[in-house]
Structure 1
Amino acid sequence: MTEDKWSRSEQRIISIIEKFTTYKNWISFMHLSIEAKIDHQTLTNHIDLLIKRGTITEYRGKNKSRLFCISGHSDDIEYNEQFRDFTQRDLLTKEEANEKLSKLYKLGTDNLYHKF
């Protein structure tokens, strides 16, 4: 019974990460914690196991924040981190942040952002 509960919790975590992340987006530990409604320690245990299995990828941000996405969707992290800085720290709107980033990055033929 506890294995079934553990498995359901893992599936819920994976589905939340899939829901909130796409090819170029990551979800923070705090956001995942709120959405999953799982206590901090249990969530940490699930995440560590999913990382070991290679199901999800973790990125440690500049400010020690933990960001997650489904493995294989981990491109453009520098671009996304800069976007988060602009919208959260500098309190810019999404449009203002995109405009500022368009002066620093160009979308390449490989569908990834590159500094120019």
Structure 2
Amino acid sequence: MSTHPPRSRTDAEFTERAPAASAQYALVPARTLTLETVAGRTGLHPELVRRFVALGLVDARRDAAGRLVFPLTAPATLARVERLRTGLCLNYASIGLVLDLLDRIARLEAALRRTGARSDQPPWT
């Protein structure tokens, strides 16, 4: 039995041994959409979709070939962006703020539903 306290690993040792949190394995194919598919489903020009990615309004990543790939939720997100832009005449910075607030509200409402908390006030939506 050792009398020495357990040695904690350094950050470098941890990152060398621990698998990445976002690691994808070949046995489980990732479900993504290409830029062309997203543009076709939303009716937006691919350059406008690229601009939305650059502005951070829609999530995307690069595949091994360097092409943009999108999560399956991207068309719905882009539709929401377009509704905010045309319906409320918001600029892109405002749209980013509104999207963040709507996501925060959705998370808070989901947390309330999970806890079973009830309010005497009617929901604001």
- TM-score normalised over the length of structure 2: 0.29
Structure with the largest fraction of strand: 1
- Higher CA-based Rg: 2
- Structure with the larger RCO, 1 or 2 (CA within 8 Å, 6+ apart): 1
- TM-score normalised over the length of structure 1: 0.31
